[in-house]
Structure 1
Amino acid sequence: MRELVVVVGTRPEIIKMAPVIRAAEGTFERYLVHTGQHYDAEMSGAFFEALDLPAPDENLEIGSGTQGEQTSQALVGVERLLLEREPAAAVALGDTNAVLSTALAASKLSTTFGHVEAGLRSFDRTMPEEVNRVVADHVADLSFAPTEQAVSHLRDEGVTEGVHETGNTVVDACHEHAPLAAERSDVLERFGLDGDYVAATIHRPHNTDDAERLRAVVDALDGASVPVVFPAHPRTQRVLADLDYEPSGSLRLVDPLDYLDFLKLMDHARVVVTDSGGIQEEASVLEVPCLTVRPNTERPETVEAGVNELVEPAELSARLETLLTDADARDAMTGHPDLYGDGDAGERIVAALDAALD
C-alpha cells in the first residue's frame, strides 16, 4: 500500500488534519510526523488518544526559535525522512513553519506535496503565516482549497493546476470532536458556567507584542456584564505579568485548556472573542457569534456572512456588550454553519490524492 506522510507542527494542525488521517485509512499507509514546532503537553500520546488518533510515528523535536531556525531545522528533518521513506506523497495543513518546511523539502525532492487549506489570504505580508501560505501554494502539486474564494485567490496568482475545492476539514473536525467534548469534558462544571458567558483567546503577536493594545483588550473583557473565560497562551501570560495586570471585574484568566475542554467552552458560549484564524472558523460551524481583534483576516467568508466581525480594541467593549444584551443583534450573527462545507472535506482530499497518484 502506498505511504502518505502527514506533517503537523501545532495542536490546531493535528485537530484539522484528523479527518484526513481517518479518511486515509485503507487507502494509504499513514506516517504521521510532528515537527515539535510548538511544544505542547497536549501533543503527547494522550492528546492523540483523546481524539482516537494514532500517536505520531516520529517527532522532530524542533522546539522554539526564530522563524529561520524553526524553518531550517524542520526542512532538514523533513527532507531526511522523505529521503528515507520515499512516500507516495506528503501533506501538510495551514500556514506554520512546519507547512513551509514540508513544501520546500517535497518540492526539491520531487515528492508529491498536497497543501491542505490552500488559497487562504490575509494580504498582509507582515504576517509570517501569510508568507508561508503563499510559498506553500506556489510549490504544491495539489492544492486543497476550502472555499470558492480560496480557489479564486489561487487562480489570481496563476495557480490553476491540481486545485481542488474540498471544503474545510474544520467542519469535519467539529462534527467528529464535538460529541467527544460533550461526553468527556466537565469544563462547564469546573468553572461553574451555565451558558451566560464569553469565551476569549488572544495570542497573536500583533496584540501581545503591543502592551497598550493588549491592555485595552483585557480591560474591555474585564468590563463585560457576564463572566469572560480567557485561557491565556503563555505569550499572553508573560506580557500580562510584565504589565502587573490583575483582572478586577468579569475576566477570568485561566491556564490553557485542552482541546475538548475549549471546544465545549466555545460551543456553549454566547460570544467568542479571538484573534485566532481557526477559532473564527470553528465559531461559524458551532453557530456562535465571533468578534475578531485583528485589522484583517484570511477567513473573509465569516465576515461576509455576518457571523464574524473585525474589531479594534477601542471598539471591543461596546460591540461585545451589544451582543450580550441585544438578542436581535446576537441572532443576526448566528447561523451559516456550512460556510466551509458539509463535513466531508477529509474524504474529498484523500480521494483527490488517490486519483492524482494513480
Structure 2
Amino acid sequence: MKIVTIVGARPQFIKAAPLSLKLKGFLEEVIVNTGQHYDYNMSDIFINELKLPKPDYNLKVGSKSHAQQTAQMLIGIEEILLKEKPNMVLVYGDTNSTLAGSLASAKLQIPVAHVESGLRSFNKAMPEEINRILTDHTSSYLFCPTRESVRNLTSENITENVFLVGDIMYDATLLYKDLALQKSSVLEKLQLTNDKKNYYLLTIHRAENTDNPDRLFSILNVLNKLDKKIIFPIHPRTMKMISHFNLNHLLKHKNIILIDPVSYLDMLNLESHAGLILTDSGGVQKEAYMLKVPCVTLRNETEWVETTENGWNEICGYDSDFIYEKINSFKPPNSYEYIFGDGNSAGKIVNILSNYKK
C-alpha cells in the first residue's frame, strides 16, 4: 500500500514525524512538501531536527494570496498523484496545503485520511476554519484528537470511518520532550538559565491579528506593561506587518526579547520553562496544556475548548487591558486531565490504515 503525505507548514512537520516513524515497515510513504512555509526556520529545520525522511517532492509554492497559493498547490499535487498512483493521501490539520491535498485527491477519487479532524472554532472568518470543514467533508478516514472533535463531526452528519485516536502532537511532545530539555542552547543564548518560570513566551501569526492594525497595536501595547521578560520568536510575516503598520516602537521595551523563529526542540524548551504563554496559535495552546504551562489565547475563540474547560487556557481576545488583567490574575487549577489521549495516536492510525482495503 502506498500513501502520499502532504505537508507544508511548521505544525505539519511536527505532526508528521511520529506517524512517519510508525509507518516505516508497514506502508510505503511518499512525502510532498508544498513549500507553504519556505523559510528555513519554518520548514527545513524541522525536517532535519526531527529526522523526518527527506520529502520526495517540494513544490516550493511560497507566500502568496490564499487563492494563488492553493491553486498552485492543486496543480502540483495533482501531477504527483497521477504519477505516483497512491492508495490513499494523508493530510494534517487546517492549512492551505491540507485543503489543496484533500481537493486534488477527491477529484481523482483517491481516499483522503485527515489527521486532526473535527476541530471547529465556529469562526468562518478564519481561513483555517474553512480549510478544516472542507477537508473533513472530502475525507474517507477522519482521525479525531478529542471527544469534542468527534461530536463536531456527528453534528455535521459525518459518522462513517471516524476514529478517536488522540492527538498526534501529544505523541511528538512525549517523543521529543526529554531531548528538548537536554538542549539548553536557546536558554543559554538568551541568558535565561536562571530565569526558568520567570518569563513569558509570546507567539503571534494569525492574519486576524497581524493584518488588523488596531488588534496588532493592542496586543503589542500590553507587552510594555509587563514586568517580566517576554521572549518573542517572531514569525517573518508578523515582523513584516509590524513594520508595515509602523508599530516597531512597541517592540523597544527593555523586557521584550525578539528572536528568530526557533526549532521545534528549542520551542519545546522555551514552552516548558515559561511562566506563562501568550499565543494565537492552536498548536501552541495544545503544547502549553501538554506541558502544564498556563496559556493566554489572543483570540476570541478556540478550537481547543477542552483546554479552557479544564482551566489551563484563558481566551482573552485582543483588548490590551483585558489581556493584562488576565495575565496578572491567572491561576491554573491544581487538577489536570489527560485530554489528548495516551501518546500512541500514531500507532492507532497505522493499525487502521494497515487494514484498509480498496
TM-score (norm 1): 0.94
SS at match of 1:111: coil
* TM-superposition CA deviations, 1:26-71 (whole Å, max 9, x none): 1111111100012120466553231122111110111111111111
Taking the aligned partners of 2:119 and 2:66, their CA distance within structure 1 comes to 20
Aligned to 1:169: 168
Equivalences for residues 264-275 of structure 1 within 5 A: 264-275=269-280
Shift of 1:150: 0.5
- Maintained 8 Å contact 2:285/2:313: yes
| Residue in structure 2 matched with residue 239 of structure 1 by the alignment | 241
The question of whether the paired residues in 1 share the 8 Å contact of 2:66 and 2:96 is answered with: yes
Equivalent residue for 1:206? 208
Match of 1:216 in 2: 218
| Equivalent position of 2:323 in the other structure | 316
Instruction: Rate the CA distance shift 1:197–1:45 in 2: closer, same or farther, 3 A.
Output: closer
Matches within 5 A, 1:91-130: 91-130=90-129
Structure 2 spans left out of the alignment, 5+ residues: none
Quote the residue 1:340 is aligned against. 340
Between 1:180-189 and 1:267-276, the stretch displaced more is: 180-189
1:334, CA displacement in angstroms?
Answer: 7.1
SS at match of 2:258: strand
Q: Does residue 1:53 correspond to 2:52, yes or no?
A: yes
Output one character per residue of 1:97-149: Cα deviation in whole Å (capped at 9) or x when no partner. 11111111111112121001000001111111111101100010000011111
1:136 matched to which residue of 2? 135
The aligned residue for residue 31 of structure 2 is 32
Match of 1:261 in 2: 266
Runs of 4+ aligned structure 1 residues displaced above 6 Å come to none
Does the alignment pair 1:290 with 2:295?
A: yes
Aligned to 1:326: none
Alignment TM-score, normalising by the size of structure 2: 0.94
Give the letter for the 2:348 counterpart: R
* Deviation for aligned residue 1:351: 1.0
Cα 1:9–1:44 shift into 2, 3 Å = closer
Q: Report SS of the residue matched to 1:103.
A: helix
SS in structure 1 opposite 2:248? coil
Measure the CA separation in 1 of the matches of 2:238 and 2:281.
13
Cα distance in 2, alignment partners of residues 334 and 218 from structure 1: 32
Contact kept in structure 2, 1:12 and 1:278, CA below 8 Å:
yes
Structure 2 counterpart of 1:102, which letter?
Answer: G
| CA–CA distance in structure 2, aligned partners of residues 303 and 268 of structure 1 | 21
- Secondary structure of 1:356's counterpart equals coil
1:37–1:98 Cα contact (<8 Å) kept: yes
Taking the aligned partners of 2:201 and 2:162, their CA distance within structure 1 comes to 36
Cα offset, 1:249, TM superposition: 4.1
Matches of 2:324 and 2:256 in 1, distance apart?
Answer: 12
**What SS does the aligned partner of 2:80 have?**
helix
Question: Which letter does structure 1 place at the counterpart of 2:174?
Answer: H
Which ranges in structure 1 are unaligned for 5 or more consecutive residues? Answer: 324-328
